[in-house]
Amino acid sequence: MSTPVKQPSIADLTAKVVAWGQDAEMLSAAADALGQVEPHEMTVGLRTDPRTAWGEAMEALGGDSEKLKGSALPGEWGRLVVRQESVAALPFALGNYPQQVRELDSLVKAEDLSALLASDPTAGETPKGLAEWCRKQADAGTMPQALIAAAMHRVSRDYPAAERVLTDLVGKVPFEWLTTLENERAALLWERGHHAAARAAWDKLPDTNPVVFNRGMAALFAGEAQAAVNHFRKLDGQLSEDSAWRHLAGLYLALAELRAK
């Protein structure tokens, strides 16, 4: 008789969640206290330092993110971080940071993860100061700043502005930035609720860490658990130990493994 596979406890899943700065101790303590008890409102009051969020929001650039360390944050970034709502299905893309995934209770208890997807997200407007910063970066056309400008519009939910910048960059970006550009275009589709189109776009791209992560995330929330497991396992050893994206990939993988049995 085969030995039954032990499913991860809620505490195990919680412990896999993103470790972020000062909030890491809170999450660790919560995981220890939870045991097999389901988490409830455990993320209330969690805040992310804007500088920490900025560093992780640039990881989609890969090695090029190192060039931006210590650079001045764009205006209004801190306010954007404070206003960000919790997200369940987060693409690995510029401007996004893993600490946005906060409501573990919803993720663990959901019978249908696709129900957590936003099909018709509310549009927003890029704050005035940030919009001016984005305009200057987009007009200059320098990489990766122009891509970051599009991402700032997307994070502000100013989807038309983000699309304008990305569309203008098509045919202009150097070859080495093409995959990053297309990943950003797919992330914009995803966050606008066009999930099938985003998946199709990611499937056509080379296997970079953000692209593989996004294929796994998309498969997980489409109910294709085994496909998600396969994608996330490709990231094993590919993301640095201190990367919050590595921890989020681990959380999504654990959720996929639970559903793939």
- The whole-chain average pLDDT of the chain stands at 84
What was the pLDDT predicted at 230? Answer: 98
- In the predicted structure, residue 14 carries a pLDDT above the cut 70: no
User: In this structure, how many other beta carbons lie within 10 angstroms of the beta carbon of residue 10?
Assistant: 19
Asked if the peptide bond before residue 144 counts as cis, ω within 30 degrees of 0, the response is yes
Residues in the chain: 261
pLDDT of residue 120: 77
Residue 104 token pair: 């573990």
196-211 per-residue burial string, b: 16 or more CB within 10 A, e: under 16: eebbebbeebeebbbb
Q: What was the pLDDT predicted at 15? A: 52
pLDDT at 172: 93
Question: How far is CA 13 from its chain centroid?
Answer: 18
pLDDT at 19 over 90: no
What pLDDT is stored for residue 4 in this prediction? 47
Do 89 and 217 meet the contact criterion of CB atoms below 8 Å apart? yes
- List pLDDT tens digits, range 72-94: 788 889 999 988 889 999 999 99
Q: Nearest CA to 35 among 68, 66, 11?
A: 11
Q: What is the distance between the alpha carbons of residues 79 and 167, in angstroms, rounded to a whole number?
A: 27
pLDDT reported for residue 38? 41
- Are 190 and 198 within 8 A, CB to CB? yes
Q: What tokens appear for 115 in the block? A: 């129900």
Residue 24 pLDDT more than 80?
no
Percent of the chain exceeding pLDDT 90 equals 66
Distance, CA of 254 to CA of 166 (rounded, Å): 34
Task: Write the pLDDT tens digit of every residue in 108-158.
Answer: 889 999 999 987 788 899 999 999 999 999 999 999 999 999 999 999 999
Helices (H), 141-221: 145-155, 159-169, 178-191, 195-203, 209-221
pLDDT at res. 30: 36
